[in-house]
Amino acid sequence: MNKEGTILVVDDNKGILTALEMLLLGTFKKVISLNNPNHILSTLETENVDVLLLDMNFSAGINTGNEGIFWLGEIRKYRKELPVVLFTAYADIELAVKAVKEGATDFVVKPWDNAKLVATLLSAYHLNKSRTEVKHLKEKEKILKTQFNNNTELIWGESPSMQHLHNLIRKVAITDANILITGENGTGKEMIAKEIHACSKRKNEIMISVDMGAVTETLFESELFGHVKGAFTDAKEDRAGKFEAANKGTLFLDEIGNLSYALQSKLLAALQSRKITRVGSNKPIETDIRLICATNSNLLEMVANNAFREDLLYRINTIHLEVPPLRERGNDILLLANYFLQKYSRKYEKSGLFFKGETEKRLLNYNWPGNIRELQHSIEKAVIICDETALKPEDFFFKATGSAPATGSANQTLQDMEKDMIEKAIKQHGGNISAIAAQLGITRQTLYNKMKKFGL
C-alpha cells in the first residue's frame, strides 16, 4: 500500500503514543506525536497535517472530556477544515457525540480495534484530501477568470527562421525543460509559450501567465506564492498564488528581465526547492510546474552589469528560443496582414476588403518596430477608417523612421545599419574586441553575440 499524508496524534499517555506510532506508520507517510496539547497550534503552523487524532482528557484525575472539546474549538478556529477524530473512553461517548455535532469528524473508543481505528483515520484523511482539492479548484477558478482572454491563432508563416523555430519547439515542448524565450516587443513570445504548453505533456492542465513588469515589489510574494487570511490589511481570505494555481501545469513569467535583483533571489529559491510558502504562513507547499520565461532584455548583458543573477539565468535557460522580428520574416508580413484583415473585416462587418498593390509594397518595406503587435493594430485601424474596399497606403499611419524609403543606404533595415557599424569598428580597431565594444558602448559578451548573429 502506498503511504501518504501526515497524521498528528495528541495523547498524554506516552505508551499509547508509541503504540499508535508503530501502528500508523504502516498507513501514513508521517506520524507526529504530541503528549502536550499546548503544542498543537504551533505544530499545525509548521506542518502540513492532514488528519488529527485527539484525546479528550489530559489533566490527571479529570475525565470529563471537556479538555478535548476545548482543544477541538481551538483547532477549528485555526484550521476549520482539518478533520479531527476524538479518542474517548466509554464514559465519554455522549460528550463525543456532542463534539461531532460541533465539528469533530468522528470518534474512536478506547481500547481501540486496530482495523477500525485505521479505517476511521483513513476515511478522515480522504475527506480532507477531497476538501483540499475542491478548495484548490475554486482558487484556480478565481485566477483563471482573470487569466482568460481571446486566444489568437499562431501563424507560423513560411520564413526559414520561423520554420526553424517551429521545428525546435516540437522537440523541446514534450520535455519538462525550462525555456527562455527572447525577442523584441510584439514578436509573439506569449503565443510561443502557449504553443509550447499546448504541445507538452501538461496540455490538459492550465497555463498561468504573469507579467513580471506589472508585479510590484510589495505584492510579488502574494501574487506568486499566495497568502493566508490576515497576513496583511487587505488579506480577507486565503488566496493561492500563481505557483499553486499552475501546479501540474505551466507557469509563464513574461518580462522576467524587469524583476528586481532582490526579488530574483526569492524566485530562485522557489524554483530550486520546488516549494513555496504563502505570506503569513510557515508551511511549505510543494509545487510541480513547467517554467517558461520571456524577455526582450539581453540577460547576459544584465548579468555582466550585475543586474540579473547568473544562477537564476542558468535555472530558467535550459532551452533558449529566439523569436525573429517581423522585419526579418519577408513575405510572412503579407500572410499575417491578410489574416488580420479577415479577422477585423468580420469584426467590423466590412466585407470584400483587400490591399492595393502599393499598400502591399509599403507593408513589406516598413520596418515594423512594434512587430506583429504593431501590424495587428495598424490593420485594425485601417479597417475602421477605410471608405473603400481597397485599403490604400494613406489608410495606414506608418512612423516616419519606418516608412518605405526609395533606394540606396536609406533602404537599410536597422539590422543592416547595426551590422555595418560593427564591421567598420572591427576594421578600425583591427579586431580588438575590447576596443570595439568600448566604441559601440556594449559589453564584450553582447559584441560576441552580435558578431555570431551577423556572421562576422
pLDDT in tens, 305-317: 999 999 999 999 9
The set of cell numbers assigned to 441 is 558602448
Residues of CATH 1.10.8.60 domain(s) within the chain? Answer: 326-404
Question: Given this model, what pLDDT does residue 286 score?
Answer: 92
What sign for the dihedral angle of Cα 376, 381, 386, 392? negative
CA dist 382 and 392 (Å) reads: 9
Question: Given this model, what pLDDT does residue 195 score?
Answer: 94
pLDDT in tens, 61-100: 555 667 888 899 999 888 888 999 988 876 567 777 778 8
Residues of CATH 1.10.10.60 domain(s) within the chain? Answer: 410-454
Candidate from 229-238, 304-313, 316-325, 446-455 with smallest mean pLDDT: 446-455
Question: Given this model, what pLDDT does residue 164 score?
Answer: 93
Question: Given this model, what pLDDT does residue 410 score?
Answer: 43
Task: Determine whether 175 is exposed, middle or buried from the number of CB atoms within 10 Å of its CB (0-12, 13-18, 19+).
Answer: middle
Contacts of 299 (CB under 8 A, 6+ apart): 180, 182, 256, 257, 308, 313, 317
Cα 262 from chain centroid (whole Å) = 19
Q: Which residue from 127, 125, 319, 140 is spatially nearest to 247, judged by alpha carbons?
A: 140
- C-beta separation of 340 from 348 below 8 A: no
Question: Given this model, what pLDDT does residue 22 score?
Answer: 92
- Asked if pLDDT for residue 247 goes beyond 60, the answer is yes
At 343, is the pLDDT very low, low, confident or very high (cuts 50, 70, 90)? very high
- How, if at all, do strands 390-391 and 239-240 pair? unpaired
At 424, is the pLDDT very low, low, confident or very high (cuts 50, 70, 90)? confident
The set of cell numbers assigned to 224 is 506568486
Candidate from 53-67, 202-216, 312-326 with smallest mean pLDDT: 53-67
- What helix, strand, coil percent values describe the chain, rounded to 5? 50, 15, 35
Q: What is the mean pLDDT of residues 218-223?
A: 90
At 403, is the pLDDT very low, low, confident or very high (cuts 50, 70, 90)? very low
Q: What is the mean pLDDT of residues 209-226?
A: 90
The domain 6-132 is placed in CATH, from the list 3.40.50.150, 3.40.50.2300, 3.30.540.10, 3.40.50.1820, at: 3.40.50.2300
> Greater confidence, 91 or 219?
219
pLDDT in tens, 86-144: 888 765 677 777 788 888 888 888 888 999 999 999 999 988 888 777 776 666 665 55
CA dist 204 and 235 (Å) reads: 31
What's the whole-model pTM score?
0.63
Residues of CATH 3.40.50.2300 domain(s) within the chain? Answer: 6-132
Q: How many CA atoms lie within 13 Å of 335's alpha carbon, on the beta-carbon side?
A: 13
CA dist 314 and 309 (Å) reads: 9
The DSSP bridge partners found for residue 291 are 251
Per CATH, the number for 160-322 is 3.40.50.300
User: In the CATH hierarchy, which top-level class contains the domain 410-454?
Assistant: mainly alpha
Percent of the chain with pLDDT over 70: 90
- Asked if pLDDT for residue 349 goes beyond 50, the answer is yes
The length of the chain is 456
> Greater confidence, 214 or 149?
214
**Containing H/E element for 46?**
helix 40-46
C-alpha dist (Å) from residue 144 to 132, 245, 251, 258 = 18, 9, 13, 24
Return the CA Rg of the chain. Answer: 31
The set of cell numbers assigned to 263 is 526579488
- Asked if pLDDT for residue 360 goes beyond 70, the answer is yes
Question: Given this model, what pLDDT does residue 404 score?
Answer: 39
> Greater confidence, 143 or 196?
196
Question: Given this model, what pLDDT does residue 296 score?
Answer: 93
Residue burial 418-455, b: 16+ Cβ < 10 Å; e: rest: ebeebeebbeeeeeeeeebbeeeebbeebbeebbeeee
Q: Which residue from 242, 176, 188, 235 is spatially nearest to 212, judged by alpha carbons?
A: 242
Q: Which residue from 340, 450, 369, 316 is spatially nearest to 185, judged by alpha carbons?
A: 369
At 208, is the pLDDT very low, low, confident or very high (cuts 50, 70, 90)? very high
At 150, is the pLDDT very low, low, confident or very high (cuts 50, 70, 90)? very low
Residues of CATH 3.40.50.300 domain(s) within the chain? Answer: 160-322
Question: Given this model, what pLDDT does residue 31 score?
Answer: 94
The set of cell numbers assigned to 397 is 499611419
Question: Given this model, what pLDDT does residue 407 score?
Answer: 35
- Asked if pLDDT for residue 396 goes beyond 80, the answer is yes
> Greater confidence, 138 or 370?
370
At 149, is the pLDDT very low, low, confident or very high (cuts 50, 70, 90)? very low
**Containing H/E element for 239?**
strand 239-240
CATH architecture of 326-404: Orthogonal Bundle (1.10)
- Asked if pLDDT for residue 445 goes beyond 80, the answer is no
What sign for the dihedral angle of Cα 50, 55, 56, 60? negative
Cα 277 from chain centroid (whole Å) = 15
Three-class secondary structure of residue 421 per DSSP: helix
DSSP letter at 179 equals E
